[in-house]
Amino acid sequence: MSETIQLQIARYSPESDDEPRWQTFETPVRKEWTVLDALNYIKDRVDGSVTYRWSCRMGICGSCGMMVNGEPKLTCATFLGDYLPGPVRIAPLRYFPVVRDLVVEIGDFLEKLVAVKPWLVRKEEKAPDAGEYLQTPQQLDAYKQFSLCINCMLCYAACPVYGLEPGFIGPAALALAQRYNLDSRDQGAGERMDILSQAEGIWGCTFVGECTAACPKHVDPAGAIQQYKVAAVQDWFKTLLLPRGAR
């Protein structure tokens, strides 16, 4: 195949630019090439200054998220041939500050992720010689889908509320909070509820649903958030009617 395709890549140099500009490249198209392969071709042979993140190149590390023709994609999981005849516009992940070229600052996401306590919270730890925490396949099933998140942040790039609302925790963090809430080994639902039920925390979500559409791992963060809202309402009524306690 001696086909080529045009790539328009957003370039931004904080030292010299006030805002991003597009730079056009031409790369070959091999049948099995992904957009990431084209980016690597450019960096290796055409312009070594193009800056972007990538790692596993097989859709599991979550590093290579970018906007490809306006849609959030993992560039290692997006076939170049699908965009023929081109051009392909590659931009940094939406709704995040741009550090350079295609690299975005993800600190906000990481802060929010930590805030929801994405780990098993126990009131009392079991001593190691008491054995493992046992879990049936059904109990695993209850949260498994939400545990598949690879923190690629495509859902954040898809979510307009995240772009508009500074306090919104966002799809992935909320799905992961729900993953731990639903884990039979976890006892931290109450602690998480305090963070999550803040006005901006989850209630800004208007179920646009784009996060689920963008997710490469079929986590369905939108579903997780709505399920969480239902749980929060039940909790609200419980604290109203039983103030001291059957939480």
Query: Rule CB under 8 A: is residue 206 a binding residue for another protein?
Result: yes
Note whether 179 binds another protein by CB under 8 A: no
Distances (CA, A) of 226 to 176, 186, 222: 13, 20, 6
Question: Rounded to 5 degrees, what angle do the CA atoms 220, 222, 223 make?
Answer: 70
Instruction: Give min distance, CB of 233 to another protein, in A.
Output: 5
x/- mask, another protein, residues 101-140, rule CB under 8 A, reads: ----x-xx--xx-xx----------------------x--
Give the CA-trace dihedral at 240, 245, 246, 247, to 10 degrees: 80
Listed ranges 11-19, 37-45, 47-55, 78-86: which one lies at the site for another protein (CB under 8 A): 11-19
Find out whether 207 and 157 touch, Cβ atoms under 8 Å. no
CA–centroid distance for 90 within its chain: 18
User: 50, 43 in Cβ contact below 8 A?
Assistant: yes
Binding of another protein by 190 (CB under 8 A): no
State the residue for tokens 């084209």: 38
Among 46, 120, 164, 242, binds another protein (CB under 8 A): 164
Which residues make beta-bridge pairs with 24?
A: 8
Query: What's the min distance (Å) between Cβ of 28 and another protein?
Result: 30
| Other CB atoms within 10 A of residue 231 CB | 17
Q: Judged by CB, which is closer to another protein: 128, or 245? A: 245
Contact positions vs another protein (CB under 8 A): 12, 14-15, 17, 19-20, 70, 95-99, 105, 107-108, 111-112, 114-115, 138, 141, 160-161, 163-167, 169, 195, 197-201, 203-204, 206-210, 213, 220, 222-223, 226-227, 229-230, 232-233, 235-237
